[in-house]
Amino acid sequence: MAATLGCRGSLRLRRLLSALNPGIHVPRAGPAAAFGTSVTSAKVAVNGVHLHYQRTGEGEHAVLLLPGMLGSGETDFGPQLENLSKELFTVVAWDPRGYGHSRPPDRDFPVDFFERDAKDAVDLMKTLKFQKVSLLGWSDGGITALIAAAKYPSYINKMVIWGANTYVTDTDVKIYEGIRDVSKWSERTRKPLEALYGYDYFAKTCDKWVDGIRQFTHLPDGGICRHLLPLVQCPTLILHGEKDLLVPRFHADFIHKHVRGSRLHLMPEGKHNLHLRFADEFNKLAEDFLR
């Protein structure tokens, strides 16, 4: 299913039409005229499912973008797909199984779903013939990136993570319960996901996600992947928005303390979606670190 996204305008049009009728398939625009501005879209078989990804750039340095809960490349990483250097990087944004266009299957949340995502992500990039890859992981994607870096150290070059946590506390559970009902989300956050999934799948999957995260409270110290942090070997940049209402600052501090040699950069006005709200600053920080 190869296709090409020509410009941001075509993406807005497709989202609008999808919002009116999620069943409508709107063809993507042809390649843009300017060098390196096109984003190709395709699916490939990996570990028994067909994973969807977007790809742009022609640089030698491969970078994988890992989205957050319910996220996809097109909903979570527009400014990065558009503006990260096409000359320095080949950028891939994937949709984890059950998310975005990597359906079927529907998303489920066994206790090892983050490990499953990490293996899928690494195997996707190997299937695409990349010899080594850097990771940019947001929220759940940051957790996946940490696990991938710990379990496949020879394959991971560098890593940037933000909005991630490696264990679940009672404080976190209260926050998660507060987002279980998607009808209470802000319209700006809710609408792109409704357009992508339709309301029923969106609401059902968010509800299942909250239950999936809560199960970690039954494990020692609420652990998701905290035990793996000492195994991370790659250079790691941790970004944290000090106004992040979903992931408290202590999670970023914990990762920084336990990932050897990591750097922590605080963004005083940043919230959970700092890579979207402050895209230019984020992109520069990421590019400078990855160079």
Active centre residues (catalytic): 139, 244, 272
Residue 41 region, left (φ>0) first, then alpha (ψ -120 to 50), else beta? beta
Q: How far apart are CA 129 and CA 127, in angstroms?
A: 5
Cβ atoms of 26 and 64 closer than 8 Å? no
Element containing residue 43 per DSSP (H, E): strand 39-46
The number of C-alpha atoms within 13 Å of 176 and in the hemisphere containing its C-beta is 22
Q: For residue 160, report the phi and psi dihedrals to the nearest 5 degrees.
A: -120, 125
Structure tokens at 195: 């357009």
Sheet holding 263-267, edge to edge: 3-5, 39-46, 49-56, 89-95, 61-66, 133-138, 156-162, 236-241, 263-267
Cβ atoms of 214 and 176 closer than 8 Å? yes
Residue 251: is it exposed, middle or buried by C-beta count within 10 angstroms (0-12/13-18/19+)? buried
**Coil, strand or helix: which one is 13?**
helix
Cβ atoms of 72 and 97 closer than 8 Å? no
**Which positions ≥6 away from 20 have C-beta within 8 Å?**
none
